[in-house]
Structure 1
Amino acid sequence: MKMDSQYQKNSNFLKTGVTVLKGVSPYRQRLLAKLGVLTAGDLLEYFPRSWEFLPEPAYISELRKGMDASVVGIIESIDFKQFRRPPFVEVYLVDNSGNFRLVWFNGGYILNQIDIGMPLLAYGKVSSYKHQLQMTNPRFRVLEEGEYADVKSLGGSVYPATKGLTTGQIKYLIRNSLETLCQHVPEFFTDQYRQKTQLLSRKTAFHQIHQPLEQQEADQALRTLKYEELFLMQLGLALRRNRVAKSNPISVMGWDKKLDTHIRRRFPFMLTEDQDAVIDEIVADMLSRHPMNRLLQGDVGSGKTVVAVYAALMAVANKSQAVIMAPTEILAQQHYDNICRYLEGSRVNIKLVTGSITGKKRQKIHEQIKDGEIDIVVGTVALLNDEIEYRRLGLVVIDEQHKFGVDQRARVRKGALPHTLVMTATPIPRTITMTAFGDLDVSVIKHSPPGRGRVKTRVVEQGKRDEAIEFIHARIKAGKQAFFVYPRITSSEDETEVKAALYEHKRLSIKDFPEFEVGLLHGRMSAAEKSEIMESFRSGKINILVSTVVIEVGVDVPNATIMVIETADRFGLAQLHQLRGRIGRGQSDSYCFLFGDLENEIAAKRLAMMEKSHNGFEIAEFDLSIRGPGEMFSTRQHGMPDLKLANIVEDFDLLCMARRDAAQFVKDDPLLEKPENVNLREAIIDKYGEKLGLIGIG
């Protein structure tokens, strides 16, 4: 029988329900669950949000006006002046040197917490009232027996609390369990490594983050635990990258100049230098004996789809099937139409697979895919259907990859090891690329194809709205088309100020543009309705398309040169940049008008950035610095747990250090087999094993 390792024994204890710890009753267990604390390990990793380091308590006789002071004494009297305006609680505290007045305005709530004869610690600024020294609204703590002597421990950690469970009670629970918990904390690094990287032992770090005696101790603990978070993430990604590189060899694809020329003839335009450079990288990957695993970033309209089609045709030329998966039916249909146009007259068989294709037609397509009759399959999440089997899957292209979770991206491969190209038009800052996509090779298309008009962006104040509508009216009268984008389909009762597509469609049709055809597009429509509306807009039958963000990705109508985004401050900058990318697809200059709340200083700054820059990467970095990673770039979206302590923007230097160190670890010990790396290997399997396909390293 296999014995559990020391790591597993410790891990099993830390995974035990929190009631195993002293002082955690079933009632407190329910309250802790509200804070996400379910296990003993969760309590150990329930980190303080801040620390308070109090000055040594002064005797009452030593207090002076203007001092920030701590004072400890016995409550001599309590008086609630409830009929004064405002009402206040007055407490007199005594020690061996005198007495001292404490006042809490509107402080009736503290009467249930204090009583005459209790020892009390109060801290705040000393003021004076009618020649008498006092503290007004001081922070305080009723002392428990034995706390008198250790004043530094009375400050310390401040925890996020919940109703029924104060920060003091959480601190008390953690303090009583900390020794027990730390006995089960495995070390990840050798003494020599910790000395080189200036890290604390894990036991010391957990002690110091929960019970620091001064700010320097808290800072040391934070650095160690942040590094550990980032290192484990980077180590997981480095192991997966190494695993893919060393995975079972696949058949090498063939390529030569003749094939290159044959593919390029299919495009009715010259490719840009950026596209050529990325194609060279992809060809090198596909000529390798190991599967390509590449992320292609390109700003809106930069020509990523052409690169994907080149890769697909290379796979088809090597008698393999290619799959292109898009997040929406509109985008999948557009990819399908464009590829059909490029390949008109060729022998390449292409089929579209979406949720709206059902019955015998769907069954027939599935049979053709299985038999290898279909060369390129374009579709939506319908491609994840278990019924779909490929004869020889050689390439998977996933467009707008941030719209899909890791599980979906894995399922589309159907257990095979094809070359994989994931694409995004949402520019991803380098910090995010390093955390969420550290296992991928990255290519970037920086420049758009020549011959496209400029896109001019204007933030419109409320008073100039009519002027903007007049300008738009003139452009539509001249034969151009416009998008009007809204954040909601309908407004809810608590968001009446947020403009919604259904109501605004009626208003624009009747009031602002009665002589033009105004269409409506939103996510609740059927696939057939969406397709019909988009076709009417492309053909010019609809002059103005009122829409939600369903048009965020992929919609390509060169004659649409106007975009109005209502309540623009409600959108992330990356999303605004994506939406703006729907115009400027033709040769004419285009105009993007942003209507939003300019009174909010941060909102005004963000919208001003949209006026200033058309560089998606610059905009994404700016948005990241103001808002933080957010859900769009959340590590959870990519199968990685959210970071508890580290911040990839603020701790970028630490992230770079962790990435470099993790790569060296994998280079020196690819399967983490050395005795000193056993705990790291088991921690990685525990944390990321299934998500990153690392179970095999165990």
Structure 2
Amino acid sequence: MESSTAHLDINRLQQALTVEAERGFVNLQGRQYLFADFLSLSLGQNLPPVWDSSDRLQAQTLSNQYAKYASLPISQRQHLVAETRRLLYDVRRREIAAASAPQLTKKPKTEILVKQATKTTSARSNSTQTGTTALKPLSLDLNLQYLEGISPKVAEKLTRLDLHTVEDVLNYYPRDHIDYARQIEIRNLNDGETVTVIGTIHRYSCFTSPKNPNLTIVEIILRDRTGQIKLNRFWAGKRYSNRGWQEQQKRLYPQGATVAASGVVKRGKYGLTLEDFDIEVLDHSQDRIESNTIGRVVPVYPLTEGISPELIRRVVIQCLPIAHKIADPIPEKLRKDYQLIGLAEAIAQVHYPDDSEKLEAAIVRLTFDKYFYRRLVSLYRRNQQKAIQFVPRSHLIEKLEAILPFQLTGAQNRSISEIRADLQGTTPMNRLVQGDVGSGKTIVAVYALLAAIESGYQAALMAPTEVLAEQHYRKIVEWFNLLYIPVELLTGSTRTAKRRETLSQLETGELPLIIGTHALIQDTVNFCRLGLAVIDEQHRFGRDQRSRLLQKGEDPHVLIMTATPIPRTLYLTNSEIEVSIIDELPPGRKPIQTTLLKPSQRKDAYELMRREIAQGRQVYIVFPLVEESDKMEDVKAAIQEREHLQSVVFPNFKIGLLHGQMTSSEKDEAINQFRRSETEILVATTVVEVGVDIPNASVMLIEHADRFGLAQLHQLRGRVGRGAAQSYCLLMSNAKSEVAQERLKVLEQSQDGFFIAERDFQLRGKGKDEGTEQSGHAGFSIEDRLSDEAKRLELYQIAREAAERLIKKDSTLESFPQLKAEFDHHYQRLQGGAIFT
């Protein structure tokens, strides 16, 4: 029987389910099976003895459902995955109980929230059921439906946050904390403070609004020896308008009762009040506050529809007593060397910290873990790859330098040196070249391309649009023709005969360099010896698209270029890549004068354009829409405005049009006319954001600038200032919002893409973290709690050093069994479908 069930690994099934949920229930492809096939086969085989008859029946039912998984809607896939996880956790819990029955009789111990934990333990002992599910002893893999007050229906809701077990909850970190621990007298309240007030109820009213029968209003007058404050709360719904419910509320808070109230102080119509307050009745003013929120530091968790903050906090408090059972995989010596607290303590303190110092220590430890495992996975993965080591030669580079009409900047030379070192290393290069618009990233890439060609390998440069690919081709082919190196362009517009000839030359190795768009990743494209892949504006490609290009060779070196502003924190803490920064502009470039304008200043903008055109310059005017929309009546569109500008505003100038709905040939013609100065003004959408390089253009007017992101505006601004003449960027906006105005003023303040990215990061937030590895869910990551960027970067460097120390000491990690097990978990998650084999 054992041999027939040896292949059933619950851990593996759980990991597969976790990865599928994280990737959005897309039926991931593994090395051997699709996710659904893997689950269907696993659950349909002979099962171990610990699986009882009902388990086996349910497993067979689930196996049959997975056979139809591909045709199910997302909601049913989610439900099926949740049911499977619940079954596996139940079976695993019985396995543990059978192996360690004596230990399960011990009462859980914790130093945190002792009174609440004791109550929960007592209820667990005295109660046999909550809803329809019997309470069970706490364990890390206990399903949440077995907690006190958590019915199967509530547990099902929690799965929306990917919370299935006690351990899931403990690893669900707060995105913030509110400090209600500060008790203050009413006369000392200040607007904006978070406080707790203890006083007596002078008046408590609960009544239905005379204007809205579905709205119930609670009014409380709270007094202490220094003054009084009025608190209001509103309840929407007919059940709160019930007279019996309202009278019950009055009995809970009788006149003269001593209460503690916590909230944020706000100045309202009737003076200061507490916004969104929590309140608890005390026996007397010196009584201990029993609430999970009032008078303490309260965690704030990422939520989703149907899940309240109170529910999450209640669940967390029930789970905390066994936080000490979480093993710490990081070796003790390493923890001491880097002054890290233990993992169990960090998890307990990150939820309900004793004080701000312990909260900080917990956040540091958990952020360290994230950086550490990410770097460890990266190092391990790179060690598995065999690098193509380019032979250092320089005759082509010497010839290139002889024909270049300019000198490289110090930042360019530094980046080239870093790339050369990578190309001669023992692991494949994976480097990002980050530089502002016009900083000269292309010539840096050319040095890498020549290194590959000199070493006898082929190279590919992939760009996201035909416009950008063609720009690269025009620039590079001028240099390479002088070096007698053939170069070809491959896009969707390449004619059949030319495509056939190019593909043949690639396959035989006759063609050393190909420049193109997504056309490069088609199945018909085969390389003889691909050694280097250069990807421009990589954020515009999906992960699968980038991977398909790399699969055209055997672990080729990778160079990524981007001009899109990225906060230093985000890319410097990405363990998958090394970073080269080009933070100098070529000599002779003048700063672009950027001005925020109101619609009333439009005439001034037009006059500037006329002056510039009179001096032989050209102008861009960018709109957010191609055509007018009924849904956005107040937003101007390119097609209609071009007609207005041509007939009314600039009748003496020729105006071109460029937008994304035009065919490739139409776009090419519009750009070429502008390049040849046959049109003085180009009306466009954001299709000009990348790849349009017209040194003669000196004015960029962006209409409805508040509708664009800062990074996008910075890219658009980079279309001018590419020649020696003074250039101008005009941001037209009628936005009244202070936030919108503040965002646009950032562009007036600086042309430094790094500064702009950091300000955008502060104003907008960073959005979803890169990769799949996250704690806190819902786009939140624990490192977000470290507001000090310098501290975050320092911590990343420490984690990076620690990972490199360990992998150098033991590249297999076999001498650290606990760490190896945790590493395997992270590796499988980052690898995605590789576990479905």
Q: What's the TM-score, normalizing by structure 1? A: 0.81
Q: Which residue of 1 aligns with 2:659?
A: 522
Paired AA for residue 560 in structure 1: A
Contact 1:31 1:164 in 2 (8 A): yes
Contact 1:238 1:662 in 2 (8 A): no
The whole-number CA distance in structure 1 between the counterparts of 2:577 and 2:264 is 59
Counterpart of 1:232 (choices 373, 376, 400) is: 373
> SS in structure 1 opposite 2:524?
coil
Q: Does 1:564 align with 2:701?
A: yes
Shift of 1:323: 0.3
Q: Which residue of 2 aligns with 1:130?
A: none
Q: For structure 2, which runs of at least 5 residues remain unmatched after alignment?
A: 20-84, 87-142, 190-195, 223-227, 254-258, 266-271
Q: Which residue of 2 aligns with 1:43?
A: 169
Q: Which residue of 1 aligns with 2:207?
A: 80
Q: Does 1:351 align with 2:488?
A: yes
Q: Which residue of 2 aligns with 1:169?
A: 311
Shift of 1:666: 2.1
Q: Which residue of 1 aligns with 2:523?
A: 386
Q: Which residue of 1 aligns with 2:70?
A: none
> SS in structure 1 opposite 2:404?
coil
Would the alpha carbon gap of residues 366 and 473 (structure 1) be closer, same or farther in structure 2, given more than 3 Å must change? same
Shift of 1:421: 1.7
Shift of 1:270: 4.4
Encode CA deviations 1:207-260: one digit per residue, 9 max, x unaligned.
Answer: 3333446555544433433333333334434545xx35x84253542404x333
Contact 2:422 2:428 in 1 (8 A): yes
Counterpart of 2:728 (choices 570, 582, 591) is: 591
Shift of 1:694: 13
The whole-number CA distance in structure 2 between the counterparts of 1:526 and 1:639 is 41
Contact 1:225 1:645 in 2 (8 A): yes
> SS in structure 2 opposite 1:489?
coil
Q: Which residue of 1 aligns with 2:770?
A: 635
Shift of 1:143: 9.1
Would the alpha carbon gap of residues 174 and 376 (structure 1) be closer, same or farther in structure 2, given more than 3 Å must change? same
Q: Does 1:462 align with 2:623?
A: no
Encode CA deviations 1:119-178: one digit per residue, 9 max, x unaligned.
Answer: 566515999xxxxxx99888346899xxx9761535343445555432222322333344
Q: Does 1:377 align with 2:514?
A: yes
The whole-number CA distance in structure 2 between the counterparts of 1:311 and 1:674 is 34
Counterpart of 2:467 (choices 330, 353, 357) is: 330
> SS in structure 2 opposite 1:563?
strand
Would the alpha carbon gap of residues 656 and 379 (structure 1) be closer, same or farther in structure 2, given more than 3 Å must change? same
Paired AA for residue 174 in structure 1: V
Shift of 1:329: 0.8
Q: Which residue of 2 aligns with 1:656?
A: 794
The whole-number CA distance in structure 1 between the counterparts of 2:229 and 2:829 is 61
Paired AA for residue 805 in structure 2: K
Q: Which residue of 1 aligns with 2:671?
A: 534
> SS in structure 1 opposite 2:782?
coil
Identify the range of structure 1 (102-111 vs 230-239) with the bigger mean alpha-carbon deviation. Answer: 102-111
Counterpart of 2:197 (choices 69, 75, 84) is: 69
Paired AA for residue 477 in structure 2: C
Would the alpha carbon gap of residues 680 and 597 (structure 1) be closer, same or farther in structure 2, given more than 3 Å must change? farther
> SS in structure 1 opposite 2:292?
helix
The whole-number CA distance in structure 1 between the counterparts of 2:451 and 2:572 is 29
Contact 2:387 2:555 in 1 (8 A): no
Identify the range of structure 1 (556-565 vs 310-319) with the bigger mean alpha-carbon deviation. Answer: 310-319
The whole-number CA distance in structure 2 between the counterparts of 1:341 and 1:439 is 34
Paired AA for residue 201 in structure 1: G
> SS in structure 2 opposite 1:603?
helix
Identify the range of structure 1 (496-505 vs 135-144) with the bigger mean alpha-carbon deviation. Answer: 135-144
RMSD: 4.4
Shift of 1:472: 0.6
Q: For structure 1, which runs of at least 5 residues remain unmatched after alignment?
A: 94-99, 128-133
Would the alpha carbon gap of residues 90 and 530 (structure 1) be closer, same or farther in structure 2, given more than 3 Å must change? closer
Q: Does 1:31 align with 2:157?
A: yes
The whole-number CA distance in structure 1 between the counterparts of 2:590 and 2:704 is 26
Matches within 5 A, 1:20-419: 21-22=146-147, 23-35=149-161, 37=163, 42-51=168-177, 68-70=196-198, 79-80=206-207, 82-83=209-210, 88-89=217-218, 104=232, 106-107=234-235, 115=248, 123-124=261-262, 139-140=277-278, 151=290, 153-155=292-294, 156-179=298-321, 182=323, 185-212=326-353, 218-240=359-381, 243=382, 247-256=385-394, 258-288=395-425, 290-344=427-481, 347-357=484-494, 359=496, 361-414=498-551, 415-419=553-557
Contact 1:239 1:666 in 2 (8 A): no
Contact 2:435 2:441 in 1 (8 A): yes
Would the alpha carbon gap of residues 496 and 283 (structure 1) be closer, same or farther in structure 2, given more than 3 Å must change? same
> SS in structure 1 opposite 2:173?
coil
Shift of 1:107: 5.0
Q: Which residue of 2 aligns with 1:686?
A: 825
The whole-number CA distance in structure 1 between the counterparts of 2:252 and 2:344 is 33
> SS in structure 1 opposite 2:783?
coil
Contact 1:489 1:522 in 2 (8 A): yes
Shift of 1:392: 0.8
The whole-number CA distance in structure 2 between the counterparts of 1:575 and 1:619 is 11
Shift of 1:482: 0.9
Q: Which residue of 2 aligns with 1:547?
A: 684
Shift of 1:435: 1.7
Encode CA deviations 1:605-647: one digit per residue, 9 max, x unaligned.
Answer: 443332333333333333334333346xx52499999552212
Q: Which residue of 1 aligns with 2:572?
A: 434
Paired AA for residue 362 in structure 1: R
The whole-number CA distance in structure 2 between the counterparts of 1:510 and 1:261 is 53
The whole-number CA distance in structure 2 between the counterparts of 1:425 and 1:499 is 28
> SS in structure 1 opposite 2:595?
strand
Contact 1:394 1:419 in 2 (8 A): yes
Identity of aligned residues (%): 33
Would the alpha carbon gap of residues 676 and 28 (structure 1) be closer, same or farther in structure 2, given more than 3 Å must change? farther
Would the alpha carbon gap of residues 194 and 111 (structure 1) be closer, same or farther in structure 2, given more than 3 Å must change? farther
Shift of 1:326: 0.8
The whole-number CA distance in structure 2 between the counterparts of 1:660 and 1:576 is 36
Contact 2:264 2:276 in 1 (8 A): no
Q: Does 1:646 align with 2:783?
A: yes
Paired AA for residue 299 in structure 2: S
The whole-number CA distance in structure 1 between the counterparts of 2:675 and 2:229 is 77
Contact 1:597 1:604 in 2 (8 A): no
Would the alpha carbon gap of residues 92 and 462 (structure 1) be closer, same or farther in structure 2, given more than 3 Å must change? closer
Matches within 5 A, 1:442-453: 442-453=579-590
Q: Does 1:475 align with 2:603?
A: no
> SS in structure 2 opposite 1:153?
coil
Contact 1:10 1:186 in 2 (8 A): no
Shift of 1:337: 1.8
Paired AA for residue 820 in structure 2: R
Encode CA deviations 1:293-324: one digit per residue, 9 max, x unaligned.
Answer: 33222322222212222322332233221100
> SS in structure 1 opposite 2:261?
strand
The whole-number CA distance in structure 1 between the counterparts of 2:233 and 2:582 is 62
The whole-number CA distance in structure 2 between the counterparts of 1:450 and 1:217 is 50
